[in-house]
Structure 1
Amino acid sequence: MTIVDAAAQSKTFTRAWGDLLDGYRKRELWLHLGWQDIKQKYRRSVLGPFWITIATGTTAVAMGGLYSQLFHLKLSEHLPYVTLGLIIWNMINAAILEGADVFIANEGLIKQLPTPLSVHVYRLVWRQMILFGHNIVIYVVIAIIFPKPWSWADLSAIPALLLIMLNCVWVSFCFGILATRYRDIGPLLFSIVQLLFFMTPIIWNDNTLQQQGAGRWAKIIELNPLLHYLDILRAPLLGADQHWRHWAVVIGLTLLGWLLAAFALRQYRARVPYWV
């Protein structure tokens, strides 16, 4: 078999799908590595990973309290809104920024340990789910202080979280491969994500725009895809009305994203070890 034939065989969707499946079968490895990442970061700390919860909770309470006063909103409504927004945003933000660095950060493992590329992505997403689990405790406490009526429809938060996890995987694959090949992508994404934070309804909402006479911006904000990801998970947890358009956009972007990820894996999976 020639080098050209070997390269052609590596660029198949079967190989790309095989990488995803092989990575999942090695779940004991990435589950362990993801948990070790958390433990290592807070090594010799008394509170350990709960420093994440404290930091996020402090930020949420400070921003929720401040902006509820600035925008003349009820604290009992705005504080849970901001808290959930920050918790979900942290997960999405990590999928983009840490996803762009996922292969570069694991250069040693990629070159020395023959494992599927998906192991490193699964490790990243699993680590973010652990952090999400720590942070959601903040919302539970706030929900006890400011109780809301619940309904069976609010259980849609479960498929919404699973859907966001699926999106975190393809985002990490696409940006990870792209940023490994072109190192300027990482800083560029950092700047874009910073801008999107202020363009996404996390510390403000539609009522804020209306009060400030900027309701016309609502249509422009709809073009921000992160708005839809936030709403499918935040709305049911707040007991708020859910809009089908958010689910339609997220499902559409999920399908499109996985097509892009499949193409990226098919074309460039074998080149990543050389690029890192």
Structure 2
Amino acid sequence: MMNDKKSPVQKFLEGKGFYIALALCVAGTGTAAWLAVNRTIDDIDDQNQKILESRPQTEDFTDPGEVDAEQNGVTISSEGEDSSSDASSSQEPAAQPSGGSASSVPQNTSALQFSLPVAGEKLNPYSGGKLVKDATLGEWRTHDGLDLGAAKGTPVYAAAEGTVASVKEDGLWGTVITIDHANGLSTVYCGIADAAVHEGDEVAAREQIGAVGQIPCELSLEDHLHFAVQKDGKWVDPLSSLGLA
């Protein structure tokens, strides 16, 4: 009988050979799979690079602000577009207002002929900003108009043509009618009875606007009309400002 002189390595290989072969097969299969995946990834990268290189270098870009503007119905002009027609149209003068409003008041004072609203005695003159004693109120006040003596019920006429700016009730001055004329001139009639005009009315020179009534803050004086004039909203001398001095 022959002696078994196989080395320990040979004995190990004979006993474990199957498993070693199996392990080598698995390792080989894994290596092949890894190589295949790696090659596939490389191919995908190459294809992507070719696609990127084949695309145009510049692309149209839309500003988000332009998108919002278009959605809101706003027209955006492209850069460099000729806008001279728009500029010229924007410089066209605006249409002038038509007649039938306060703008229809005569604009040339030299064409107006002023006259006193009542033919009466000049009782108390314009004080020119100085304080005078009010006999009714017992106070020192400026007298901003001219008192013209006239009995109650005497007709009061417009000093010149113009537009009735207001007809108001005042606790001190009674019914007050204001008429606008040209160049910032306004005539004011205080203590009117039976007002014959309304705000917005066009009046002619010497047209009756009411009658002499009562002035609460000047009851101590004889019956009269308080007549005043404003220039650009400031009180002025009725006689000199209207050329009646």
Shorter-chain TM range is: under 0.3
Higher helix share: 1
Q: Which has the larger radius of gyration?
A: 2
In the superposition, the TM-score normalised over structure 1's length comes to: 0.20
Higher strand share: 2
Structure with the larger RCO, 1 or 2 (CA within 8 Å, 6+ apart): 1
